[in-house]
Amino acid sequence: MKDTPVVAAVNGTDERGDYRPGYEVVAERILEFIAEARLAPGDRMPTENDLAQRLDTSRAVVREAVKILSALGRVRAHKGRGLFVADDDGMLITSRWGGFFRPVDLDHVFMLFEFRRVQEMAAARLAATRSTPAELRAIEDAMQQCRHGYAHGEVDVFNQADDDFHAAVAAASHNTFLGSAVRDARRLQRQSSAIGIHDAFGEGTAAAVEEHEAIYRAIRDGRPDEAAEATAVHLDRTLEDYRREIQRRLFG
């Protein structure tokens, strides 16, 4: 009997090409296991061998999945002691409201962007009326770094500046709750990036650079409605990039 797509992917035999290597599928299924088993930060997890048996895959694939989850701050591997659900700030954030989040599930990505759209439109609107000169400089500097990273093909520089840009806009809203919500949502989005949905410049990166500038100019000029609308345009286009990439991985 032929493997189903998920089992095939876990076993590294997905015939559809580059969509979801086995370690990506296993990483997501380990997150599902943590949620379904109601494991709390600091709890011990099954060993790599036990996880491999549970998920009907190899220990080597599980090891690669654990590396990803460790980088995301979801799992901690202690030499000689085993695997544990992470208990650092990153895990506390994700356990509070994102422990269910599946980084390569299109419906979850949609919901996350829907949430981001509400929060960041509000933050941009407030920033247009509350930002200080220093905060405007921080937004502008991040915008220019994004442009520099894109122009020179430096993905890491662009990604860091992108984080800095959205954080700077949120900070300029002078609303601590909005700032926290924006940071948490972007942290969840980075899990999608780390697991492989969006780890390189895409078709919309050039547009993102210009969209950042439109947001900055509206905030600088004290135009709250235009700042909010420019933010909505940016997030809607970014979501479309994610949707297109997931579809490409699904159907080639």
Look at the pTM and tell me if it is higher than 0.75.
no
- pLDDT, tens digit, 9 for 90 and up, residues 4-52: 333 334 444 343 344 457 887 888 888 888 878 888 888 899 999 999 9
What is the average pLDDT score of the chain?
81
Q: Determine the pLDDT at residue 38.
A: 84
Strands of the chain (E only): list them: 75-78, 82-85
The answer to whether 102 touches 26, Cβ cutoff 8 Å, is no
Amino acid (1-letter code) at residue 111 = M
Task: State the Cα–Cα distance between residues 87 and 84, nearest whole angstrom.
Answer: 8
Confidence of residue 93 (pLDDT cuts 50, 70, 90): very low
Residue count of the chain: 252
| More confidently predicted of 202 and 236 | 236
Q: Rg of the chain's alpha carbons, rounded to an integer?
A: 20
Q: Determine the pLDDT at residue 200.
A: 61
- pLDDT, tens digit, 9 for 90 and up, residues 51-63: 999 999 999 999 9
Task: State the Cα–Cα distance between residues 52 and 29, nearest whole angstrom.
Answer: 11
The answer to whether 230 touches 124, Cβ cutoff 8 Å, is yes
Distance of CA 163 to the CA centre of its chain: 11
Share of the chain above pLDDT 90, in %: 46
**Residue linked to tokens 């950042």:** 212
SS3 (DSSP) at 14: coil
Whether residue 196 has pLDDT greater than 90: no
